[in-house]
Amino acid sequence: MNALMKKSAIDFSWVAFAKCWSLAKICRESDALVSCSLVALLGLFMLLTACSEKYTSSPSCVGQGNSNRSAIPIHMPDGNVRSMGITEVTNVQFSEFVQATDYVTLAEQIDPVTDRPRGSAVFQQPKQAMGRWWRLDESANWRQPTGLGSSIDDLGDYPVVHVAYEDALAYALWLGADIPTQSEWSAAAVGGPDHYADGGGRNISPSVGNTWQGYFPFENVEADGFAGAAPVGCYPPDEQGLFDMSGNVWEWTKPDLADAHFSVLVGGSYLCSENFCRNGSPRGRQLQELSFSASHIGFRVILDAAPTVDR
């Protein structure tokens, strides 16, 4: 259980205690002391049970620490074997690239028309029915995932986000790798979990991956343990040993044409819900402009070499 979930569980327990203390006070002031006390105890039991179910069963985020390799060989439809990154690229990994090359992402670059940073799209949970879900924030980028004042200081193992396709490709090429095509990514996802939500939906179960549970975008019950993105590798790997091929963040794939302006995002994200996106699974697909970036889009890499890369 990570520190954030421990804090949430403690906070939840204090709420439970406060509620039951109030009930006990009412009981002392009433004639029905025994029956009211039983109700208070029952309420405490129910609250603590809910807390236990939500947090003690939350996944342990192991990511690359679960393997001595950072890529796994995958047999492709053309008969070749390529090595797919076992996780999405993390903030720590992307930081190494930026430090080595002084690379500036598209979101950080100055727009020649406005003379301001291009910025990136940030999801915000609306507080009212007509509230906006997204905002284009010129201060948002991979270093400041929620805009001005935010940082990745405690998010090293989280997937890097706010990366456009050209940013993902630049990292991959620096690593001597590439961005997988949609067919390559699909071949790697063949062994993925097929634990779809009740009712025949396309979202995976919250025990398998990070998606949205509740009525999007107003209610997120966080049954999977996270309100937003999760550190890489928090959920069981698929049959081929790959983590987060379902949910967490959308992943870029290589466009079919060299002069394309769009490509396909795969796998869904933490914003996919049963009532809205329904793409939080290995089957998830979404067409996206190559220059776009957002707080729920990341990537992983694929290599031709043996799976011994350690970055």
pLDDT in tens, 48-70: 443 443 433 344 576 544 444 58
- Give the phi and the psi of residue 33 in degrees, each rounded to 5: -60, -45
**Domain chopping of the chain, boundaries:** 3-55, 64-311
Percentage, residues of the chain above pLDDT 70: 70
250-252 vs 297-298, strand pairing mode: parallel
The whole-number average pLDDT for the span 71-90 is 90
Read off the amino acid at residue 253: T
As a whole number of angstroms, the distance between CA 134 and CA 147 comes to 12
As a whole number of angstroms, the distance between CA 38 and CA 33 comes to 9
State the helix-helix crossing angle for 91-101 and 165-174, rounded to 10 degrees: 70
Read off the amino acid at residue 62: V
As a whole number of angstroms, the distance between CA 141 and CA 148 comes to 9
**Helix or strand (DSSP H, E) at 247:** none
Q: Find out whether the peptide bond into 217 is cis, omega within 30 degrees of 0.
A: yes
- Report pTM: 0.76
Average pLDDT, the chain: 78
Radius of gyration from C-alpha coordinates of the chain: 22
Which SS3 state, helix, strand or coil, does residue 294 take?
A: strand
Give the number of other CB atoms < 10 A from CB of residue 80. 10
The string of DSSP letters for 183-245 reads: HHHHHHHTTS---BPTTT-SSBPTTTSB---SSTTT----TTS-SS---TT-S---TTS---S
- Give the phi and the psi of residue 192 in degrees, each rounded to 5: -75, 165
Q: Does the pLDDT value for residue 194 go beyond 70?
A: no
Give me the CATH topology for the region 64-311: paralog of FGE (formylglycine-generating enzyme) (3.90.1580)
Between 60-74, 247-261, 272-286, the lowest mean confidence (pLDDT) is in 60-74
Q: Does the pLDDT value for residue 197 go beyond 60?
A: no
Q: Does the pLDDT value for residue 240 go beyond 90?
A: no
